[in-house]
Chain A
Amino acid sequence: MPLRRLFAITSILFFVVLAISPLKNALRPYRSIQREYARLGAARAKSQKVAEAYQARPVSIQQIWLPGLQNRVDRCMTCHLGAQDETMAGAPGVYRLHSRSFHTPKDFDRFGCTSCHGGQGLATLEEDAHGMAENAGTPMTPLPFIESGCGRCHLGEQVNGAAILTRGRMLMEKAGCFACHLVKGHEGFRSEAPPLESVALKTGGEALKRWLKDPKGLDGNASMPNFRLSDQDIEALTHFIFNTAPSKALADKVREAGAEKAGDAINGKKIFAEARCISCHTVEGKGNGSAPELSKVASRATQPWMLAYLRDPHAFNPRTRMPQFGFSAADTRDVVAYMVAEFKDFDAPPGMLDPVHVNQTLAEKGQKLFRLLGCTACHAASGEPDRIGPELNRIGDKRAASLDFGKRKDLKHTLPTWLQAKLEDPRSLGTGLKMPVYGLSPTDTQAVVTALLAYGAEPVPAQYQPVPAVRASLVPGGTVGALFDRYRCLSCHQIGDKGGDISTAPLTAEGSKVKKDWVIDYLVMSYTIRPILTDRMPVFRMTKAEATILAEAFETFYLDPSIPEDPFAGQPATSRDPIEGRHIFDTLGCKACHILGEKGGYFGPPLNEAGRRLKPGWTYTWLKGPQKWRADVRCPNYGLTDADALKLTSFLQTQVQKPAALKTAKGGGR
């Protein structure tokens, strides 16, 4: 009977359909993984009891629920059971123990897994959880970029223990990414590229064309990227730039400088070395490298311009990091004479610095091109920069499916690969793209991609953001502010959370650290404090009056309330025993890093003048824990008692020898 047969078939079908679901659950990969984990754990267990506990483990889904952290539910532990289990050290594959890091194992329950690694926390199938398929919605972060996870909460420039991320953030600042791309926290970024109007005064047509063709090829320190311009475009831009009229004040300065007699190159060489120009610039690669290479500069900049610029750099480029030196008129003539004689490209054809006879049609074409290419983002004379790039605030969570891979068929469709390709060869992803080529090394590309991946779509709740370790920056206005600006202290030194990274001495607590008389002497005639450092304080030719104003500002503004003015106050007289202190100095082995007398290592500053330079309160606080001052300081914390630290301080205060550089009253040699 057909109805009966139909019924029989449907019944069997229903049974099969009903069986699918429990069967599917029973065959889920995590079940076999958990059983294998129990077997491995039992085999590795040190006692019978522990082994039995492993075997008695129920097979079930494990999860960490974090309602406070973007309501995450991470079930990664369902398979990665060994991640928190010390027994599983060295276990294979999925069973292994998580590497120890700053937050593991202690913070598993605070952060879960996906807040650092990405991926889909709720999923329990490997492919879904890891987002391994192309265009997956929430893929895991590949390990080379894993430090981007740190950057989601640690928003500061420097992230201790995340060197790749820190480097990436530094590179983004240095390359000027924020000039074209809006990023939260960097809205105020202004490139220090020279305003356009002074370029025609500085250089010549041929030199400018060579520069536009390949800036980094001419100067390895250049921050301007390569725009891959065609010869016609370069021609048009050159005509436009030479058609831009400089202000009368600047033009007059250069004209007047051009009428002066030539200086004495031999004296200029001495001044160049003494002023320590290579603390920022390089000469044939030697030097800090945060400012232009100078070995061929005279073939790029005219003599009158160099002379006028050295006398008043801030008039030509208000945003430059270059300080104003207090050279006399004759001194600047001598320095420029030296640079013109020595620092030129001897292979360059004559006429490199000849100006361009402007063709108006080409100049107009160049003007359009200048705006179209986004040059104004960095070279704007004033006002808001013209940001032509897309904002990058949520780039780290952008879905791969929404990215345009264009012509590149060789790339896997994931965000990190796209970002890498975009940084390595931006134009290869499509036609008409404007982003220039930065010529980053593979490790630098990795660092920048890491920094970019840290810009998440959702901000991390405030309680997950670490409290910044440094105080906010305070730079006073008025006379003191003007001096800070004139000598560009913040180009090298840090104050609070602002400033450059050339100097190793932040000024945040300078007033509590050094003695006033020493600072005045040092500012007037700076010398080498730490012999191993190549980037040393320039000799600014500051007047004693200016130095005194700055020293008084340090004593007023830059104090740390935790550093006592007199650490011996209220202490027994024995704490002032310098002979005991000398004994402690010898026992601790301070001489391994510090020179005292003639002997000792030269990693730390020599201590022969410690008593002239350092205040006792600061020396004492330093000795009680150098890392409080800066986390990565290499002077070890000896765990000294108060009494011992005081005795050592009192010994160091007796060391008041004047350094040789001051006795001869000359600046440091090159």
Chain B
Amino acid sequence: MRPSMLPRLAWGLVLVLGAASGCSRHKEAPAPAAGTPVTPPAEAAVAPAPLEPPLSYELRLGKQVFQHYCLTCHGETGAGDGFNAFNVEPHPRDLGDPAFQKAKVDADLKDTVRRGGVGVGLSSGMPPWGKTLTPDQIDQVVGYLRTLKRTDAPPAS
């Protein structure tokens, strides 16, 4: 018995050591300073909550596109009341109108943004943006348009 025990012992040791080093391959594991208790990761503590924007990343990009290119005519809320709107005939579309939002699927809206009013048989006031915005930006801005839909009845004007 005894002679066979030593090699087995040695073999076992080698395996254990090998396995242990295999386990700790991820180098630079976070080393908490001595005496600092490692707090369990709390969901709220990862990001400072008040700064977290309410819109998703894509919608925020869409909002940026909208505010840069569309707001001048369609207005902050998409109601068609941008500062450039009053002298423009026909008047820019009210994008918040629930009936309009319901009538158009995303593909229609993207097509209008891409090809402009003339492209879809409407007024030339709406320019074609297909060569200015990337397809991604058009997707994003149409995504953002959907957030502009008013839930209540439109105010009488």
Contact = CB atoms under 8 A, between A and B. Distances in A.
Contacts of A638: 127-128, 131
B83 A532 contact: yes
A587 B16 contact: no
A646 interface: no
Contacts, number: 154
Of B22, B29, B30, the most chain A CB neighbours within 10 A belong to: B30
Contacts of B38: 133-134
Of A21, A24, A25, the most chain B CB neighbours within 10 A belong to: A21
Contacts of A131: 30
Contacts of A413: 36
A595 B32 CA distance: 66
A127 B26 CA distance: 12
Given A132-B41, A446-B51, A142 B46 contact: yes
A439 interface: no
Nearest to B20: A21
A108 B61 CA distance: 19
A166 B22 CA distance: 44
Interface in B37-59: 38-39, 41, 45-48, 50-53, 56-58
B27 interface: yes
A18 interface: yes
A232 B129 CA distance: 62
Nearest to A24: B23
A120 B28 contact: yes
A17 B84 CA distance: 76
Contacts of A22: 19
A21 B131 contact: no
A627 interface: yes
A601 B73 contact: yes
A589 B125 contact: yes
Contacts of A588: 118, 124, 127
B64 interface: yes
B98 interface: no
A399 to B, nearest CB: 9
Contacts of B116: 589, 636
A483 interface: no
A135 B46 contact: no
Given A125-B26, A639-B131, A603 B84 contact: yes
Contact of B52 (A18, A122, A144, A417): A144
Contacts of B46: 130, 132, 142
A588 B119 CA distance: 11
Interface residues of B, number: 61
Contacts of B87: 595, 599-602
A637 B132 contact: yes
B153 interface: no
A179 to B, nearest CB: 27
Interface in A83-136: 99-101, 120, 122-125, 127-128, 130-136
Which of the four size classes fits the interface of chain A?
35 or more
A18 B124 contact: no
Contacts of A101: 57, 61
Contacts of B118: 587-589
Nearest to B34: A401
Given A99-B56, A599-B87, A600-B87, A589 B26 contact: no
B136 interface: yes
Nearest to A98: B57
B84 A135 contact: no
Interface in B104-155: 116-118, 123-132, 136, 139-140
Contacts of A320: none
B26 A124 contact: yes
Contacts of A125: 26
B103 interface: no
A417 B36 contact: no
Contacts of B73: 592, 601, 603
A601 B32 contact: no
A446 B49 CA distance: 12
B48 to A, nearest CB: 7
Contacts of B8: 14
A627 B58 CA distance: 23
A268 interface: no
Of A22, A127, A130, A592, the most chain B CB neighbours within 10 A belong to: A592
Given A412-B45, A532-B83, A21 B22 contact: yes
Nearest to A21: B19
A446 B53 CA distance: 12
B50 A123 contact: no
Contacts of A587: 118, 124
Interface string A596-625: 000111110000000000000000000000
Contacts of A99: 56-58
A401 B32 CA distance: 8
A204 interface: no
A401 B123 contact: no
B57 A133 contact: no
B61 A7 contact: no
Contact of B33 (A135, A417, A589): A135
B52 A143 contact: yes
Nearest to B57: A99
A380 interface: no
Nearest to A22: B19
Interface in A515-558: 532
A137 B28 contact: yes
B18 to A, nearest CB: 8
Contact of A627 (B56, B124, B132): B132
A376 to B, nearest CB: 35
A39 interface: no
B28 to A, nearest CB: 6
Nearest to A604: B84
A420 interface: yes
A602 B29 CA distance: 60
B156 interface: no
12 contacts: A7-B1, A100-B136, A122-B28, A127-B30, A143-B47, A144-B53, A446-B51, A532-B83, A592-B73, A603-B73, A634-B68, A636-B131
Given A100-B139, A142-B48, A401-B36, 13 more contacts: A25-B23, A120-B28, A134-B39, A138-B28, A142-B46, A142-B47, A144-B47, A401-B33, A587-B118, A592-B84, A600-B88, A634-B68, A636-B116
Going nearest first, the 10 A-B pairs with the smallest beta carbon separation are: A21-B19, A589-B124, A132-B41, A136-B30, A144-B51, A99-B57, A142-B47, A637-B131, A636-B127, A123-B26
